[in-house]
Chains A and B, each alone.
Chain A
Amino acid sequence: MLKIENLHARIEEKEILKGLSLTIGEGEVHAIMGPNGSGKSTLASVLAGREDYEVTEGTVTFNGKDLLDMPAEERAREGLFLAFQYPVEIPGVSNMNFLKAAVGEIRKHRGLEALTAKEFLQLVKEKSQLVELDGQLANRAVNEGFSGGEKKRNEIFQMAMLNPSMCVLDETDSGLDIDALRIVSEGVNAMRDGKRSFVIITHYQRLLDHIVPDFVHVLYKGKIVKSGTKELALELEEKGYDWLKEMEEAK
């Protein structure tokens, strides 16, 4: 479904991704871990099409199409969703209007009929229950004045509304309290249907207890230096990253 090969990307003359390769099959859940500054959010931004980053080498195919050739909005319409590490506030724009426009564009792109107002409200109701999002929040301006945890929950709510096939979650667990972590994880699990794929960026093994990944990768200095199954996350939790860093430096 998503195939990243030898990806190099830089920002302001600084190379951040240095030959990253990763293949994600249909329905798979991949966790990406790695020290601060290793390039995890950069990877997410490059996949989502942020123009500040320049891809200097490598390819990314998404459902057989050249992802890097598409503008950001087209990637979203094709089914790529990014839950941001730091969701932005858009004052004065109601969450509902925002989602209505987004759902409309995405459905149009996928050749689906526009939802009626009633159908849309029904969808909002259903999906907000999934992450137990307070109905009031749906009516407020996008993320404005939301607490850190509410913002993260809102990301997952939007994800559920937009029905993507490839979900990239950038540290969705950070800032969540214990209950919220469980709720959000359950929401994500409910969306695992054997077809939809996930890339879950996290620092904590704790999240992976809830959302059990098929694969775990370690990103270090812009490359994947180790891949394994969920046991790798446990090992990292125990030993930290130093042993991997040393191994890398030795090369």
Chain B
Amino acid sequence: MAYEGDELLENVTSKEYEFGFTTNIESDKAPAGLNEDIIRLISSKKNEPQWLLDWRLEAFEIFQKMTEPEWAHVKYEKPNLQAISFYAAPKQKKVLNSLDEMDPELRKTMEKLGISIEEQKRLSGVAVDFVMDSVSVATSFKEKLGELGIIFCSISDAVQEYPELIKKYLGTVIPRTDNYYAALNSAVFTDGSFCYIPKGVRCPMELSTYFRINEAGTGQFERTLLIADEESYVSYLEGCTAPQRDENQLHAAVVELVAMRDAEIKYSTVQNWYPGDKDGKGGIFNFVTKRGMCEGANSKISWTQVETGSAITWKYPSCVLKGDNSVGEFYSVAVTNHFQQADTGTKMIHIGKNTKSTIISKGISSGHSQNSYRGLVQIGKNASNARNFSQCDSLLMTDTSGAHTFPYIEVNNSTAKVEHEATTSKIGEDQIFYCLQRGLDQEQAVSMIVNGYAKDVLNKLPMEFAVEAQKLLAISLEGSVG
């Protein structure tokens, strides 16, 4: 949204789909259900090497021995995996003739977010005239990254073009045995992003999935692999503030990051999947496994997330601080409204010496929602002088919403220092009245107070994202004080 030429890029992208994906699979849709044959079908449709098929099949075997986890503070009806079709050819979004055909509710929200008409058209799939110039925008973007040796493509393309990198890193940060949904994802993932930053390169622009060439939207089982080689730097953006709808209820993504010696990865997410209606009907289940490996000395990984969507969120972006002096950070704002449920937090696993981690989590609960922070700080026995600081704040907008904090701390080295602070407060009627008395209306007042509360996290987002995220918080909480 903030990027000039995005719309053009995306346009090119969808055009490319129209004129042929990698194989002729336009009309394919696998029968519902999950079994070895389906996995073989996925792998062959994607023309994958034998080792990857074997890898998927092993994942499936592991998956079958696992049971769905129940420890999270969320309640839902378990998705019926046998009713899901695990492979569908990338399909064109339904093309609308004009914005008038768009869901008026969705349109109102987009307008409030300040999304331009052009952008609204693009996001909602209104047919836009093809502009010749867009080809050059896309090309120059690709060229610029190419000159620096940066690889940024879909994971399927990477399997074809950079098989040795995929083979070397896939599943190394999040093994297939990690958890139920990670195993499932490993067996059936169909799309996602791959990114490699070579040694000594600072990626000059924010990389965004939104920006990626050759990709159509987010998939149900996305797989992202991002590698920052020695002394490199990258800032990566995932998601966008515009409301995202999807007919697939279950989303189980896996994101793996690897930072080598002296490398830094900043990974920012704005998640605004459909949360269901006011009565809690519908909405997306978002069960994500995200983990970063600080492999080399002095490496750094920062996760920043703004979570406002999904009916159920289950997500713990984590850092394994293996390299000496490596640094892990987690900054999170999670908003829940109506009947949403979020169980989110992080794990900081300190293995190397002098490793440092910071956790700042700001939960905001409204309506009848439940918002939980769950965090683990683990200091290994060799992690001398490890440091952690955690701050977990909860803000309640209503008496009917809930906030919960589940901190787990395991310290196996006596030189470590771990600090944990937690607060819970209710949004002050006094604060709102104070704002009203200065001429602001209720919505502005809530927006101001909530953004002030979340400021420490919003400040960590790249500028363009931060401005949109502020508006998004306000919209997510509209009419929610009580």
Contact = CB atoms under 8 A, between A and B. Distances in A.
Nearest to A76: B439
B448 A90 contact: yes
Nearest to B456: A92
Interface string B449-461: 1011111100000
A93 B449 contact: yes
A48 interface: yes
Interface string A44-56: 0000111010000
Contacts of B429: 52
B444 A88 contact: no
A118 to B, nearest CB: 22
Contact of B434 (A77, A87, A106, A141): A87
B428 interface: yes
Nearest to A109: B439
A90 B431 contact: yes
A162 interface: yes
B452 A93 contact: yes
Contacts of B435: 90, 98
Interface in B424-472: 428-431, 433-442, 444, 448-449, 451-456
B447 to A, nearest CB: 9
Contacts, number: 71
Contacts of B456: 92
Contacts of A97: 448
B396 to A, nearest CB: 15
A30 to B, nearest CB: 20
Contacts of A91: 452-453
Most chain B CB neighbours (cut-off 10 Å) among A73, A76, A158:
A73
Interface string A78-93: 0001101001111111
A89 B449 CA distance: 10
A93 B448 contact: yes
Nearest to B447: A101
Given A50-B433, A88-B428, A101-B444, A93 B438 contact: no
Interface string A97-110: 11101100110010
A92 B455 contact: yes
A234 interface: no
A72 interface: yes
Contacts of A71: 436
Nearest to A50: B433
A105 B440 contact: yes
Contacts of B451: 92-93
A167 B123 CA distance: 49
Contacts of B433: 48, 50, 72
Contacts of A162: 438-439
Most chain A CB neighbours (cut-off 10 Å) among B429, B436, B441:
B436
A90 B440 contact: no
Given A93-B451, A93-B452, A105-B444, A77 B428 contact: no
Contact of A92 (B437, B438, B452): B452
Interface residues of B, number: 23
Given A73-B439, A92-B454, A158-B438, A101 B430 contact: no
Contacts of A92: 451-456
A141 B437 contact: no
Given A84-B434, A93-B448, A98-B448, A73 B441 contact: yes
Interface residues of A, number: 30
B438 A102 contact: yes
Interface in A124-154: 141
Contacts of B428: 88
A73 B452 contact: no
Given A88-B428, A88-B430, A88-B431, A76 B452 contact: no
Contacts of A73: 436-437, 439-442
Contact of A101 (B437, B440, B455): B440
Interface string B408-432: 0000000000000000000011110
B150 to A, nearest CB: 36
Contacts of A49: 436-437
A49 B441 CA distance: 13
Given A88-B430, A101-B444, A105-B444, A72 B437 contact: yes
Contact of A141 (B441, B444, B452): B452
A82 B452 CA distance: 23
Given A90-B448, A141-B452, A106 B439 contact: yes
B335 to A, nearest CB: 15
Given A88-B430, A93-B448, A101-B448, A72 B453 contact: no
Interface string A195-239: 000000000000000000000000000000000000000000000
A89 B425 CA distance: 13
Contact of A88 (B434, B440, B455): B434
Contacts of B444: 101, 105
A90 B434 contact: yes
B438 A98 contact: yes
Contacts of B434: 84, 87-88, 90
Contacts of A101: 440, 444, 448
A71 B127 CA distance: 44
A96 to B, nearest CB: 12
B308 to A, nearest CB: 18
A196 B442 CA distance: 27
B77 to A, nearest CB: 38
Nearest to A80: B437
Interface string B336-358: 00000000000000000000000
Contacts of B437: 48-49, 72-73, 76, 81-82, 84
B477 to A, nearest CB: 15
B439 A77 contact: yes
Contacts of B452: 90-93, 141
B407 to A, nearest CB: 22
A107 to B, nearest CB: 9
Contacts of B448: 90, 93, 97-98, 101
Interface of B: 428-431, 433-442, 444, 448-449, 451-456
The 7 A-B residue pairs with the shortest CB-CB distance, nearest first, are A92-B452, A93-B452, A92-B455, A72-B436, A102-B438, A76-B439, A105-B439
10 contacts: A50-B433, A72-B437, A76-B438, A90-B449, A91-B453, A92-B451, A92-B456, A93-B449, A105-B441, A162-B439
Given A73-B440, A76-B438, A93-B455, 7 more contacts: A49-B437, A73-B437, A73-B439, A87-B434, A101-B448, A105-B440, A105-B444
